[in-house]
Amino acid sequence: MGDEVERRRSQINKYLEPKKLIEWVNGVPIPYTQFILPKQKLDDVILAAMALPYEGGVDEFGEPQYNEDYKGLSNAEVMAINIAKKAAGGSVDAAKFLMDRLLGKPKQQVNVASVQMTLGEFLQNLEPDKPTYQTIDIEDL
């Protein structure tokens, strides 16, 4: 199992890119390199992790668990089954999640009002009895 973990780790490490950074300590710059996973490569890593064969997981207490019913399935398949089971068991959040993924989120209605007027008309309508501005014709200046 240790060799498999190292093989997977090396596969993931090929996606990491070095980023040169500087940390200031007592007014002195100390350069260092941090390896980051660029956003554009994150999808590939997630898809690869989901395609891996199911090997079990841990429960809420950190204890290892393995479900024989999922033997031969991928992590993605197990995730889909578990979400569907929660939805079927009455979880509104799980049902909403599945429906959003399967059917797409419902379109939202947006009311748009369009009004066309000059700035002077707008200001006059704010307080028609109290003009708080003066209109000046630029050509008269």
The H or E element spanning position 36 is strand 28-36
- Is the pTM higher than 0.75? The answer reads no
Q: Do residues 86 and 97 make contact, with C-beta atoms less than 8 angstroms apart?
A: no
DSSP H helix total and E strand total for the chain: 5, 4
pLDDT digit string, tens, across residues 19-61: 888 999 999 999 998 888 887 788 888 888 899 999 998 888 9
How crowded is the C-beta side of 101, counted as CA atoms within 13 Å?
9
Alpha-carbon distance of 104 to 86, in angstroms, equals 19
pLDDT digit string, tens, across residues 100-134: 988 888 788 888 888 788 887 777 777 656 655 56
Residue 130 DSSP one-character state = S
pLDDT digit string, tens, across residues 54-94: 999 888 898 888 999 999 999 999 999 999 999 999 999 99
